């Protein structure tokens, strides 16, 4: 094995691999998923109760965002505009927990986790109220 290959850290390889997989998944979703086709999975909670869960419309919202249709994405699930960047930030922070220990400790603090849970619950209740 060449000397330069031994210096590549496994975490870096995992991060690059994850990024490639996310981009490949986004490309496949962009080109092959059609929200109007009925092939996307249905929400079991909505099917059983008639109420929308916090994730209802999330796939259609992501599909609309990938196609640049912001208004449609907002109408499907406005929480996607907040959840996707927040999840991406948390994934990056978690992947760099040893590099940014104080930031990681703040992001996984019970108050932050509770605030996220409260925001999701409030959205869930709010979207089902007339």
| pLDDT score, position 40 | 67
Give the span between the Cα atoms of 9 and 124, in whole angstroms. Answer: 41
| pLDDT score, position 84 | 86
| pLDDT score, position 126 | 92
Give the span between the Cα atoms of 101 and 4, in whole angstroms. Answer: 28
What tokens does 129 get? 């109220």
Q: Which of 74, 73, 83 is nearest to 116 (CA)?
A: 83
The whole-number mean pLDDT for each consecutive block of 10 residues of the chain, a chain of 130 residues, reads 61 79 74 64 86 88 87 92 89 89 93 94 90
| pLDDT score, position 10 | 74
| pLDDT score, position 25 | 75
What tokens does 28 get? 């496949």
């Amino acid at each position: 094995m060449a000397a330069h290959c031994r210096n590549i850290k496994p975490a870096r390889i995992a991060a690059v691999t994850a990024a490639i997989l996310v981009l490949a998944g986004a490309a496949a979703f962009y080109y092959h998923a059609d929200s109007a086709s009925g092939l996307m999975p249905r929400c079991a909670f909505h099917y059983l109760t008639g109420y929308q869960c916090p994730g209802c419309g999330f796939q259609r919202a992501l599909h609309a965002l990938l196609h640049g249709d912001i208004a449609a994405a907002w109408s499907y699930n406005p929480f996607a505009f907040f959840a996707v960047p927040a999840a991406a930030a948390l994934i990056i922070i978690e992947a760099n927990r040893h590099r940014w220990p104080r930031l990681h400790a703040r992001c996984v603090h019970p108050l932050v986790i509770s605030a996220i849970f409260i925001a999701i619950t409030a959205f869930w209740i709010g979207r089902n109220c007339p």
